[in-house]
Chain A
Amino acid sequence: MGIWIFGVLTSALLLTLVAELTFALLWRIKRRDLPLVALANLITNPAVVLCHYLARIYAPSMALPVTILLELGAVAAEGYLYRSRGKTIRRPCLFALCANALSYGLGLILF
């Protein structure tokens, strides 16, 4: 793993924040909970991206199942945070699932 990983982590986080915060506005989440969405992504995104690249480099044959598990874990963690701590987030688990599907799809297109 080289220095490039820091660039990848930063760009993946920025892309995810822009995508999921925009999606949160469309989901009609109030301003009070928007930072929570950002914080939830700050918790999950760097960890998921780093583990994904570690798997790709050191265990390429396991990269796909590892990535699927990581994404499901991220959805579960974000869904839990939104449900337990969000005040204005309707159907938090569905929101987490849709937001992550959107950002993952964008990532696939752009990276």
Chain B
Amino acid sequence: MKRRHLRGIGLAALILTLLAPSAIADAITEPRSDFYQSHYEACTYVGRTYVAAGYDGKVQLLTSPVNFTVVAEYENGTELWISFTWEDGEGYLWGAYDNYSADKGKVGWLPMDDLTLKYDSAQFAEAHQNELLQNTGLYPEGDRALVYTYPSSGEYQELTEDRDYMPFSEAFSDSSLYIDEAGRSWVSISYYMGRRDGWICVDDPLNETLNTGFVEPGQSAAQQRGASTIGGMNGTAANRWQITLIAVALVALVLLITLLAVKRFYPKKK
């Protein structure tokens, strides 16, 4: 009986150990925003990097979609990782931004119309879905490789093999294969030791100069429209509160006058 219990505990420990990497991989970072805390049910997880692309050369990080206090400003071209989005009653989509390391304390919300999606592995896979093949055993030689954001993007991070975690020979067994114009083979990696969604050139895994496939970020909705997003939202937060107060006062006035009219023209039945 005792032995069976021990076996059960051992099996549970093994299962937990096997699940641990995927649990880490699936961890979602939540923004430290009061607005997020009170609206998390209506927020949608995004978890992608965007590029600041405001109409007037910058974007403003605001306290929340209903409080337009400016927390920070970012020049166009700044990369911002958006964790969640929230849509307001006027149809504007807002992105939550929280930079824990480089910009301490800077947490807030940006209009998504002022951002443009940074071309990444997901967009690459979507654009080249007909050219992607199933990897049939290719993996980088050696214990180091450069993980590019997408093939020949010019942007990479170094990856070192950790055989205790997972040897390279196994890490790429279920990945996609892409062959670029120069005939180089690239294999995708969804997650390995904190690195996620990238591509490795198996023919030349340490080449730092592969940048011919770089895709410039597109125009944001605000740039296409040719108008500031915040400016198009009927003014500032103070303005919006004024409009709300006017609407409430107007409705209350209509209600009062109508009640008096009902009393005057339709007296209670006896």
A interface vs B, CB < 8 Å? 1-6, 9, 35-36, 39-40, 42-43, 46-47, 50, 53-54, 56-61, 81, 84-87
Contacts and interface: CB of A to CB of B under 8 A. Distances in A.
Contacts of A4: 90, 234
B251 A46 contact: yes
Contact of A58 (B66, B90, B251, B265): B66
B41 interface: yes
Interface stretch (B137-145, B171-179, B255-263): B255-263
Interface stretch (B123-131, B207-215, B239-247): B239-247
B39 interface: yes
Q: Across the A-B interface, give the 8 residue pairs with the lowest CB-CB distance, nearest first.
A: A2-B234, A57-B89, A85-B266, A60-B42, A56-B89, A42-B258, A1-B244, A46-B251
B163 interface: no
Given A1-B240, A50-B248, 4 more contacts: A3-B234, A56-B89, A85-B262, A85-B266
A86 B266 contact: yes
B251 A9 contact: yes
B262 A36 contact: yes
B254 A42 contact: yes
A3 B234 CA distance: 7
Contacts of A40: 262
A73 to B, nearest CB: 13
B36 to A, nearest CB: 12
A4 B234 CA distance: 9
Contact of B265 (A35, A43, A56): A35
B261 A39 contact: yes
Contact of B269 (A2, A6, A85): A85
